[in-house]
Chains A and B, each alone.
Chain A
């Protein structure tokens, strides 16, 4: 079994240990906790945990590992983050959101073995119905040694309208771009997303055949 399949199997086992919107959001609901883990085709790996006192904001932290595809550079960024929802549109059969966030933390620069102060700002616009969704997310990570921006576009379609207690299935196309010497061009991936009640998992492959996967639990 190769490394990608092993990771997919581990993700599936983790999902099995738990008992679900179409879009990953940094604030799930008021007084709710969100735990997310993402494996991004070998270039980024991120884990996050947030608690939302209200539906307007959440507090938490995470760790981001970046591995350049074009050279041997690596960054390990550990951060504390505040997420804010300045605007939500509740429509009759749809919802749209505008999220922003900011974080501060520490980055380990692999090639120079330095530890530096790092900060981050980002945002997300999303729109979803029970059959389609779209999200655009941008994440800027900065330190005195690097500047990386990760832009992610996702478009999803559901083959059926799920109910609260039923399994939701989504087919997703993802496009992602990195700046700052991490990767060249746009990385495209086809994903299948499944969620039910508090847990979701998505997994798929990029056009280079690399694993793209995400796990999220809200409670």
Chain B
């Protein structure tokens, strides 16, 4: 492997890790109680691509960590939340890990 191939491989690996580490963060309306959170968490954990779910009532936040190399399309997320009885206002893929989000929100796993 020459130097150019090594750099390319390193960049691809870095890019791939970046994709894997992406977290989906959703802003959800109607999120006011523990039972709401419980229903949403249960729904999202049924998705085969889901690795972890975090619900925060104060920030109206639902965050999903997907399994390495996997993603959940926006329309699937919107339908899942709609079917659970809630309205998604925004979806963003961020570089924050679940641990970072939990630390910033100061919530447990």
A residues at B contact (CB < 8 Å): 20-22, 25, 28-32, 54-55, 85, 88-95, 128-130, 161-165, 168, 195-198, 218
Q: A90 contacts which of B30, B38, B57, B58 (Cβ < 8 Å)? A: B30
Name 29 interchain pairs, CB-CB below 8 A, sorted by A.
A20-B34, A21-B33, A21-B36, A28-B35, A28-B38, A29-B35, A29-B43, A30-B85, A32-B38, A55-B84, A88-B30, A88-B85, A89-B30, A90-B29, A90-B85, A90-B87, A128-B32, A130-B32, A163-B56, A163-B57, A163-B107, A164-B55, A164-B56, A164-B107, A165-B108, A168-B33, A168-B34, A196-B34, A218-B35
Q: Chain A contacts of B36 at CB under 8 A? A: 21, 29, 95
Which residues of A are found within 8 Å of B107, using beta-carbon distances?
163-165
| Nearest CB in chain B to that of A30: its residue | B84
**B37 contacts the other chain (Cβ, under 8 Å)?**
yes
**Distance to closest chain A CB from B13 (angstroms):** 36
Partner of A29, one of B42, B57, B60: B42
- Bound-state CA distance A195–B58 (Å) is 17
CB distance from B39 to the nearest CB of A (A): 2
Given known contacts A20-B34, A94-B32, A164-B34, is B56 in contact with A28 (CB within 8 Å)?
no
Interface residues contributed by chain B, number (CB under 8 Å)? 26
Q: Is the CB of B83 within 8 A of A197?
A: no
**List of B residues within 8 angstroms of A85 by Cβ:** 85
Beta-carbon contact of B83 and A55 below 8 Å: yes
| A31-B85 Cα distance, complex, nearest whole Å | 12
Chain B residues within 8 Å of A28, by CB: 35, 38-39
A127 to chain B, nearest CB (A): 10
Question: Which residues of A have CB within 8 Å of B58?
Answer: 130, 161, 163
* Chain B residues whose C-beta falls within 8 Å of the C-beta of A196 in the assembled complex: 34
